Amino acid sequence: MDETKSNTTPGELPLYPQRDLSYEFLGLRFENPFILAAAPSTDNLEMVRRAFRAGWAGAILKTTSVEGTRVDLAYPMMTTFTHEGKRLFGMGNIDLISEHHIDKVEANVRQLKKEFPGKIVGASIMAGKKEDWQSLVVRLTKAGVDLIECSFSCPQGNIGENPGKMLAQSISATETTARWVKEAAGRVPVSIKITPHVTDIVDVANAVKRSGADALTASNSIQALMGVDIRSFVPYPQLQGRSSYSGLTGPAIKPITLRTIAEIARHVEIPILGTGGASTWSDAVEFMAVGAGVVQYCTAVMHRGFRIIDDLTSGMAHYLDEMHFGSVTDIHRKALPHLADHDALPRHTVRSTIHEPLCIGCEACYLACFDGAHMAIDRGPGRVPKVDWNRCVGCGLCQHVCPVDGCIEMTLHEN
């Protein structure tokens, strides 16, 4: 395949300067905050090369294991969660770790570091026994890896004593295993990839911190059942009449990830690699604003290709200019001071205001309020609804069902 034709503008002379987006994180120099998550896109040397050439700052190579580890894949493994015509609003997979064992991955790390010394080459690992975890770490370290990520949270299960359960669902196992890894890693930063499927994410984050590991990757895919064929009753993905739970990724899980990152960042002092549901540059801004230091992409790349990096870097650069920010680090944690527990929220009188010139008369707000809120919107002349402020409590439902940007606003009123 002609590589230049598929991903870049052939021969067009650049007209605009490229803004420097580089910064330090975990003692490493990232040329921008966009890296590839451990996934199919990072399982092949040629693909990672193309990603690096396209402008990605780094990649976490797909999770590897010691030689002899059985990786028994089942196909087909991908499913879409199509919402009202929008394909891959969420993506489900029943993939496992890489079929490439450490011998192959350590060679890939060496090769990539040789060809791309300025890129961040990370590797993701999974093992059962202490000596396996540590041997993976030692071999990757010797190969020159920049960052080691430990998958404690693959929804399809772990290797080892309790294969059906995710390691990161056990506080003690998380702490013990993370300690093994960090012991062997020495100065190479270690990040533990965790799951939001726990009772209290802060407990897990604290366990990782106690272990001495350097960072957390928050968070992995969400265990999900992607759907059921309502005629054959075989759920998706369908493998000759059988199915299994999938790991859900993509835009659908972004709000869950944001909450996970924010909750860790508010309570535990530990660097966070954000991942899970980011697809645009503005998603990265949000991830960083709630505490991520770098943002990993996967589903968006599987959907649209490595070329999305052009918009990620361009969009981020223009955003920084617009905000008069000197660096992406200026975004870091900017949203956290605005987050509070529910009992600490202000209690003001809020009312719905319809900007009538913008109203197109669909009466969606009327219906939503009539059947789903407080019956506070009346049908008005010319199909422009009227809010009855005596009944309106200011819940905000009408604003969000309105199809016109900026038509309904929640306004503050004196008590």
**Binding mask of the shown chain, residues 234 to 273, with x at each position contacting another protein by CB under 8 A:** ----------------------------------------
- Minimum distance, C-beta of residue 39 to another protein, in the bound complex (Å): 19
Helix ranges (H only) for 171-272 are 171-185, 201-211, 254-267
Q: Which is nearer to another protein, 259 or 307 (CB)?
A: 307
Span interacting with another protein, options 5-13, 64-72, 105-113, 368-376, rule CB under 8 A: 5-13
CA distance 181 to 329: 28
Q: Which helix (H) or strand (E) holds 282?
A: helix 281-289
What would the two tokens of residue 301 be? 């790349």
Sequence-distant (≥ 6) Cβ neighbours of residue 126 within 8 angstroms: 63, 64, 65, 97, 150, 151, 154, 158, 159
Residue 219 near residue 273, CB atoms below 8 Å: no
Q: Is the peptide bond before 163 cis (omega within 30 degrees of 0)?
A: no
**Binding mask of the shown chain, residues 130 to 169, with x at each position contacting another protein by CB under 8 A:** ----------------------------------------
Q: How many residues sit in the footprint of another protein (CB under 8 A)?
A: 24
Is residue 75 involved in binding another protein (CB under 8 A)?
Answer: no
Is residue 289 involved in binding another protein (CB under 8 A)?
Answer: no
Is residue 30 involved in binding another protein (CB under 8 A)?
Answer: no
Residue 179 burial class via C-beta count within 10 angstroms: exposed 0-12, middle 13-18, buried 19 and up = middle
Span interacting with another protein, options 7-15, 105-113, 176-184, 213-221, rule CB under 8 A: 7-15
CA distance 53 to 364: 48
Is residue 281 involved in binding another protein (CB under 8 A)?
Answer: yes
- Minimum distance, C-beta of residue 87 to another protein, in the bound complex (Å): 10
Sequence-distant (≥ 6) Cβ neighbours of residue 67 within 8 angstroms: 101, 102, 103
Is residue 315 involved in binding another protein (CB under 8 A)?
Answer: yes
Q: Which is nearer to another protein, 29 or 304 (CB)?
A: 304
Residue 238, Cα to own-chain centre: how many angstroms? 26
Q: Which of 157, 305, 380, 396 binds another protein (CB under 8 A)?
A: 305
CA distance 387 to 284: 37
- Minimum distance, C-beta of residue 12 to another protein, in the bound complex (Å): 6
CA distance 58 to 298: 12
DSSP string spanning 47-87? HHHHHHHHT--EEEEEEE--TT------S--EEEEEETTEE
Is residue 40 involved in binding another protein (CB under 8 A)?
Answer: no
- Minimum distance, C-beta of residue 36 to another protein, in the bound complex (Å): 18
- Minimum distance, C-beta of residue 247 to another protein, in the bound complex (Å): 24
- Minimum distance, C-beta of residue 16 to another protein, in the bound complex (Å): 5
Is residue 346 involved in binding another protein (CB under 8 A)?
Answer: no
CA distance 356 to 371: 22
Span interacting with another protein, options 114-122, 183-191, 308-316, 339-347, rule CB under 8 A: 308-316
Counting every residue, how long is the chain?
415
Residues belonging to the active site: 154
Is residue 349 involved in binding another protein (CB under 8 A)?
Answer: no
Q: Which of 282, 330, 340, 379 binds another protein (CB under 8 A)?
A: 282
Q: Is the peptide bond before 237 cis (omega within 30 degrees of 0)?
A: yes
Sequence-distant (≥ 6) Cβ neighbours of residue 69 within 8 angstroms: 97, 101, 127, 159
Residue 181 burial class via C-beta count within 10 angstroms: exposed 0-12, middle 13-18, buried 19 and up = buried
- Minimum distance, C-beta of residue 390 to another protein, in the bound complex (Å): 32
Is residue 14 involved in binding another protein (CB under 8 A)?
Answer: yes
Q: Which is nearer to another protein, 136 or 301 (CB)?
A: 301
Is residue 9 involved in binding another protein (CB under 8 A)?
Answer: yes
Binding to another protein (CB under 8 A) within 371-410 occurs at: 404-405
Is residue 311 involved in binding another protein (CB under 8 A)?
Answer: yes
3-state secondary structure of 349: strand
- Minimum distance, C-beta of residue 6 to another protein, in the bound complex (Å): 5
Is residue 114 involved in binding another protein (CB under 8 A)?
Answer: no
Is residue 304 involved in binding another protein (CB under 8 A)?
Answer: yes
Q: Which of 129, 165, 242, 318 binds another protein (CB under 8 A)?
A: 318
What would the two tokens of residue 4 be? 């230049």
CA distance 268 to 248: 26
Contact positions vs another protein (CB under 8 A): 5-6, 9-10, 12-17, 280-282, 304-305, 307-308, 310-311, 314-315, 318, 404-405
